[in-house]
């Protein structure tokens, strides 16, 4: 009987709580890593490299982990991810060199990948098709809660007064490790355990990656997710650098990042009515387009209140892309390879997290700190174009050809029709 025991209706709530703690730890650690690297003498290019290494290990691990999840249980990846996140945070706080910080940042990124693949696969597997937009939206509220609380906590702990930046940024990283460990409190009975033969699942055919990518909707979903996550990632990593150049205190930067996350939460709370009103294609296209324009606006030397306003609207727009891209990929992929498709989406995310910050670091070192936000603007505008094109293609595919009615022999008509006067 234990093999068919289900976790009840609260599994999604517990998953959201666990994700909030794990994401909160990462969101607290990412600005802390930037500040600690600055205290160790890093410039904009070094910040870009360290931010990119966070995604380097996940770039190679995503697809193997997705294939493993397609043919087995998802839940074991969650505690493994928490352990790697906590270890990466704590060891980044004790590292005394930039290469060591980059390495532990990579461990942190690998842990985050493990957690997210396991969690997204659970949502995809345990949600009916009609519930996927809603459940993925609720699931990503956990990420937004973490992104709301993490930067505030980092800004509160980190101080650069009296040359304390190295010590306080290290403390913030150790605290973030403790926050990650707190997610263990809700990692129980989240996954449905079925009586399916595990050995038969292990023998299931692996769907080639090329076949998954050829499914219409998968590449567009991957690119939209890449663009949106790159925007969130570079904002988290480079807003502290912008603050240093514009003399904005770390606590204020933390509040600005949390304001963006709060707007993202607000967006996901009203996702269902927005979908009913606009539809998926129009909602994705409009929000990516507006987000691209706002990212370009951040490059301007505006006052703090104007920066806060832009970040709030930007956060609301960025809240749409991630959950809807998850649903797009899951519904477009073959049923037996949904976890692998989600892993490919995460591979795209991590590729963006490697390439975008590294490119941003080079651009910022040559042109200035405003240039990465212009690059983000171009990415998001391209995502808006892809979303519009993908929506048109889906509409065309959804219009079936109506066959000509075949004549029915009179002898096959019901008797009641033959005798009708």
- Tell me the C-alpha distance between 112 and 233, whole Å: 13
| Secondary element (H or E) of residue 373 | helix 371-397
What is the overall mean pLDDT for the chain? 77
Most confident range, picked from 35-39, 175-179, 282-286? 175-179
pLDDT at 391: 55
Q: Quick one: pLDDT band at residue 400, thresholds 50, 70, 90?
A: very low
Q: What pTM, to 2 d.p., does this model score?
A: 0.70
pLDDT at 85: 94
pLDDT tens figures, 343-398: 788 777 777 766 766 676 666 666 666 677 777 888 888 888 877 765 555 544 44
pLDDT tens figures, 14-66: 888 999 999 999 988 988 888 888 888 877 778 778 877 887 777 777 777 77
């Amino acid at each position: 009987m234990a093999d068919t025991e289900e976790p009840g209706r609260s599994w999604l709530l517990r998953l959201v709580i666990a994700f909030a703690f794990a994401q909160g730890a990462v969101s607290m650690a990412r600005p802390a890593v930037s500040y600690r690297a600055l205290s160790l003498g890093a410039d904009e290019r070094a910040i870009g490299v360290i931010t990119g290494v966070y995604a380097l290990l996940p770039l190679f691990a995503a697809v193997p982990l997705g294939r493993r999840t397609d043919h087995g249980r998802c839940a074991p990846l969650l505690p493994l991810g928490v352990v790697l996140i906590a270890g990466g945070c704590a060891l980044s706080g004790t590292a005394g060199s930039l290469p060591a910080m980059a390495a532990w940042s990579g461990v942190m990124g690998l842990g985050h990948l493990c957690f997210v693949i396991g969690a997204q696969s659970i949502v995809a597997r345990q949600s009916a098709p009609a519930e996927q937009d809603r459940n993925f939206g609720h699931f990503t509220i956990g990420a937004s809660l973490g992104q709301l609380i993490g930067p505030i906590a980092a800004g509160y702990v980190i101080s650069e007064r009296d040359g304390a930046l190295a010590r306080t940024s290290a403390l913030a990283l150790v605290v973030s490790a403790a926050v990650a460990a707190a997610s263990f409190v809700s990692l129980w009975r989240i996954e449905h355990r079925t009586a399916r033969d595990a050995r038969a699942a292990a023998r299931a055919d692996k769907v080639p990656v090329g076949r998954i990518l050829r499914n219409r909707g998968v590449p567009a979903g991957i690119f939209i997710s890449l663009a949106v996550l790159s925007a969130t990632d570079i904002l988290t990593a480079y807003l502290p650098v912008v603050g240093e150049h514009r003399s904005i205190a770390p606590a204020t930067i933390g509040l600005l990042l949390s304001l963006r996350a709060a707007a993202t939460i607000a967006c996901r709370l009203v996702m269902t009515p927005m979908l009913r009103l606009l539809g998926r294609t129009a909602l994705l296209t409009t929000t990516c387009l507006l987000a691209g324009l706002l990212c370009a606006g951040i490059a301007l030397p505006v006052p703090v209140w104007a920066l806060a306003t832009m970040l709030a609207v930007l956060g609301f727009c960025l809240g749409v892309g991630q959950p809807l891209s998850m649903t797009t990929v899951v519904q477009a992929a073959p049923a037996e390879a949904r976890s692998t498709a989600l892993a490919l989406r995460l591979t795209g995310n991590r590729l963006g997290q490697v390439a975008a910050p590294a490119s941003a670091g080079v651009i910022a070192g040559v042109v200035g700190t405003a240039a990465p936000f212009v690059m983000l603007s171009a990415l998001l505008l391209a995502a808006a174009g892809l979303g519009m094109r993908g929506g048109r293609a889906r509409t065309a595919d959804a219009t079936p050809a109506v066959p000509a009615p075949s004549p029915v022999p009179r002898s096959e008509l019901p008797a009641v029709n033959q005798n009708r006067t």
